[in-house]
Structure 1
Amino acid sequence: MTHRFDPVVLREYDVRGVVGRSLGPADARALGRSFATRVRRAGGTRVVVGYDGRLSSPALEAALVEGLTAGGVDVVRTGLGPTPQLYYAEAELEVDAGVQVTGSHNPTDYNGFKMVLGHAAFFGEDIQDLARLAAAGDWTEGSGTVTTADVAEDYVQRLVRDVEGAGYRIGWDPGNGAAGPAIERLVQLLPGEHHVINAEVDGTFPNHHPDPTVEANLDQLKRLVSERRLDFGVAFDGDGDRLGAIDGDGRVIWGDQLLALLAAPVLARHPGATIIGDVKSSAMLFDRIAELGGRPVMGKSGHSLIRTAMYEANAPLAGELSGHIFFGDRWYGFDDAQYAAVRLIEAIAASGHSLTELRGAMPALCTSPELRVPVDEARKFAIAAEIVARLLADGATVNTTDGARVTTPDGWWLLRASNTEAVVTVRAEAQDEAALDRLLAAIDDQLARSGVRW
Structure 2
Amino acid sequence: MDYSRLRNGNDVRGIASEGVPGEEVNLTKTAARDIARGFCLWLQKRLRKSRVLVAVGHDSRISAAELLSGAGQGITESGNDLLITGLSSTPSMFMLLQDAAFFGGENNVPDGAIMLTASHLPFNRNGLKFFTKESGLEADEVKEVLALAGDPYEAVPETARGNAKTESYMDKYAADLVKKVRDACNEETPLKGKKIIVDAGGGAGGFYAEKVLVPLGADIAGSQYLTPDGYFKGHIPNPENEAAMQSICAAVKRVKADFGVIFDTDVDRAGAVDSTGEEINRNRLIALISAILLSEKAGTVVTDSVTSDGLAEFIAAHGGKHRRFKRGYKNVINEAIRLNAAGEYTPLAIETSGHAALKENYFLDDGAYLITRLLIALAKAAKQGKNLSDLIADLKMPAEAAELRFKFKPDCDFKTLGANLIERLKEYSATKPYITPAKDNYEGVRLNFDKAHGAGWLLVRMSLHEPILPTNAESEEKGGVKKIVSELYAFLKEFDFLDLSPAENYLKQ
**1:414 and 2:445 are equivalent in the alignment:** no
Question: RCO higher in 1 or 2 (8 Å CA, sep ≥ 6)?
Answer: 1
Quick one: distance in 2 between partners of 1:166 and 1:291?
30
Amino acid at match of 2:498: G
The runs of at least 4 aligned residues of structure 1 exceeding 6 Å deviation read 138-142
Residues 379-418 of structure 1 aligned to structure 2 (within 5 Å): 381-394=415-428, 395=430, 397=437, 401-409=442-450, 410-418=455-463
Q: Is the 8 A contact 1:33 1:139 kept in 2?
A: no
User: Equivalences for 1:295-310 in 2 at 5 Å?
Assistant: 295-310=321-336
Deviations 1:124-165 (A, max 9, x none): 222222333334559997733222222111000111222334
**1:12 maps to 2:9:** yes
2:270–2:367 CA contact under 8 A, matched in 1? yes
Matched, 1:313 2:317: no
Structure 1 position 52, deviation (Å)? 0.6
- 1:323 matched to 2:354: yes
Structure 1 residue corresponding to 2:387, chosen from 351, 354, 357:
354
Partner of 2:175: 157
Residues of 1 paired with 2:402 and 2:234: CA distance?
22
Distance 2:318 2:122 in 1: 39
1:153-207 Cα shifts (integer Å, max 9, x gaps): 1000111222334443222101111111343211212233223211000011111
Distance verdict in 2 for CA 1:290–1:357, change over 3 Å: closer
For the pair 1:339 / 2:336, whether they are aligned, the reply is no
Structure 2 CA distance for partners of 1:117 and 1:226, relative to 1, 3 Å: same
State the one-letter code of the partner of 1:403: G
Q: Is the 8 A contact 1:108 1:203 kept in 2?
A: yes
Report the counterpart of residue 453 of structure 1 in structure 2.
500
Cα deviation, 1:315-345, whole Å, max 9, x if unaligned, reads 322111001111222x232111112112112
- C-alpha contact (below 8 Å) 2:311/2:395 kept by paired residues: no
Check conservation: 2:288, 2:392, Cα contact below 8 A: no
Residue 29 (structure 1) shift:
1.6
Match of 1:65 in 2: 72
User: Secondary structure of the equivalent of 1:200?
Assistant: coil
Where does structure 1 lack aligned partners over 5 or more consecutive residues?
none
In structure 2, what is the Cα distance between the partners aligned to 1:284 and 1:71? 54
Q: 1:73 to 1:397 in 2, by over 3 A?
A: farther
Q: What's the counterpart of residue 132 of structure 1?
A: 147
DSSP 3-state at the match of 2:128: strand
Residue identity in the other structure for 2:425:
L
Separation of aligned partners in 2, 1:18 and 1:444: 35
The SS at the match of 2:272 is: strand
CA distance in 2: counterparts of 1:263 and 1:256, whole angstroms: 10
Count residues with an aligned counterpart. Answer: 449
Determine which structure has more spread, i.e. the larger CA radius of gyration. Answer: 2
1:122 maps to 2:148? no
Per the alignment, in what secondary structure is the counterpart of residue 144 of structure 2? Answer: helix
- Cα gap change, 1:59 to 1:354, in 2 (>3 Å): same
**Native 8 Å contact 1:256 1:320 kept in 2:** no
Deviation for aligned residue 1:12: 1.3
Asked if 1 retains the 8 angstrom alpha-carbon contact of 2:76 and 2:163, the reply is yes
Is the 8 Å Cα contact of residues 226 and 250 (structure 1) preserved in structure 2? yes
Aligned partner (choices 44, 50, 53) of residue 46 of structure 1: 53
Structure 2: stretches of 5+ with no match in the other structure: 17-23, 101-108, 341-345, 431-435, 502-509
CA pair 405-131 structure 1, distance change in 2 beyond 3 A: farther
C-alpha spacing 1:321/1:74, structure 2 compared with 1 (3 Å): same
Aligned: 1:30 with 2:27: no
Query: Structure 1 stretch 386-395 or stretch 278-287: which is displaced more?
Result: 386-395
Partner of 1:109: 124
Return the TM-score normalized by structure 1.
0.90
Corresponding residue number in structure 1 for 2:106: none
Residue of structure 2 in register with 1:277 after alignment: 303
For the residues of structure 1 that align with 2:15 and 2:492, how far apart are their CA atoms? 27
Q: Contact (CA 8 Å) 1:372, 1:426: kept in 2 or not?
A: yes
Q: Bigger shift: 306-315 or 427-436?
A: 306-315
Q: 2:63 aligns with which of 48, 56, 80?
A: 56
- The secondary structure found in structure 2 opposite 1:193 is coil
User: How far apart, in 2, do the equivalents of 1:301 and 1:316 lie?
Assistant: 18
State the Cα distance separating 1:445 from its structure 2 match.
4.8
Q: How do residues 195-274 of structure 1 correspond to structure 2 at under 5 angstroms?
A: 195=221, 196-271=223-298, 273-274=299-300
Query: TM-score, with normalisation over the residues of structure 2?
Result: 0.81
Alignment of 1:157-176 (within 5 A): 157-163=175-181, 164=185, 165-167=190-192, 168-176=194-202
Can you list the C-alpha shifts for 1:37-84, whole angstroms capped at 9, x where unaligned? 211111152222111100011211221222233344322211112212
Whole-angstrom distance in 2 between the partners of 1:283 and 1:137? 53
| Structure 2 letter corresponding to 1:31 | I
Q: Secondary structure at the match of 1:267?
A: helix
| CA deviation vs aligned residue, 1:90-122 (integer Å, no higher than 9, x gap) | 232512221100010111111111112232121
What corresponds to 2:88 in structure 1? 81
Same amino acid, percent of matched pairs: 27
When structure 1 is superposed on structure 2, of 367-376 and 234-243 the one drifting more is: 367-376
Alpha-carbon displacement from aligned partner over 1:204-252 (angstroms, at most 9, x marks no partner): 1111111121222123322221122222311111111111122222222
- Native 8 Å contact 2:34 2:150 kept in 1: no
CA contact (8 A) 2:197 2:209 kept: no
Question: C-alpha offsets along residues 280-320 of structure 1, whole Å, 9 cap, x if unaligned?
Answer: 22222222222222232223222223232232223322111
Q: Counterpart of 1:407 in 2: which secondary structure? A: strand
CA RMSD of aligned residues (A): 2.7
* Counterparts of 2:404 and 2:15, CA distance in 1: 22
